[in-house]
């Protein structure tokens, strides 16, 4: 997977791995919108980094729901410097969502589903940019839309 430098368009290879205990000191509310330390017991937390670099650029918390063949995105955040018009890199959130999709497909095959409960102001964004469907209080990806997102980001 790759993200792009906004200024130059240069593509950078990324790695997504499980967050380690020492990472939670860096995952502050100021930089990542949430106090991630509080969520490490509720979800499995993964970090996104540029391959070969230490800086964490994005974080996702996933909950596996085997009875529903679904992976829920509990939390998702890009670092503060990678949000909005002045961001340094694009594609961080898309790569993290694609990672969740890949986890779901690995576990549940063709019946895989990924869902999240969005902030109201992000519903249209998630539906337009990431092909999510509205299921009332949650948005979800499955079937063709899930595969479409995987192809875009993998």
Q: What is the separation of C-alpha 47 from the centre of its chain, rounded to a whole number of angstroms? A: 9
Q: What tokens does 138 get? A: 């949650």
pLDDT for position 119 = 83
Residue spans of the chain under pLDDT 70: none
pLDDT for position 34 = 86
Sign of CA dihedral 48, 116, 5, 147: positive
pLDDT for position 102 = 97
Which domains, and CATH codes, for the chain?
Answer: 2-109 (3.40.630.30)
pLDDT for position 120 = 80
pLDDT for position 39 = 85
pLDDT for position 93 = 96
pLDDT for position 121 = 84
pLDDT for position 146 = 97
First to last CA, the chain: 5
Mean per-residue pLDDT over the chain, rounded: 95
pLDDT for position 49 = 98
Prediction pTM value? 0.95
């Amino acid at each position: 997977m790759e993200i792009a430098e906004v200024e130059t368009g240069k593509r950078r290879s990324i790695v997504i791995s499980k967050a380690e205990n020492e990472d939670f000191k860096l995952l502050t509310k100021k930089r990542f919108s949430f106090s991630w330390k509080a969520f490490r017991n509720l979800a499995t937390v993964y970090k996104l980094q540029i391959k070969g670099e230490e800086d964490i650029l994005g974080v996702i918390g996933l909950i596996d729901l085997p009875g529903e063949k679904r992976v829920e995105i509990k939390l998702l955040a890009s670092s503060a410097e990678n949000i909005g018009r002045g961001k340094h890199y694009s594609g961080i959130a898309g790569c993290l969502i694609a990672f969740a999709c890949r986890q779901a497909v690995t576990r549940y095959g063709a019946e895989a589903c990924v869902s999240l409960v969005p902030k109201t102001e992000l519903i249209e964004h998630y539906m337009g940019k990431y092909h999510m469907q509205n299921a009332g209080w949650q948005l979800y990806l499955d079937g063709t839309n899930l595969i479409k997102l995987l192809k875009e980001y993998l």
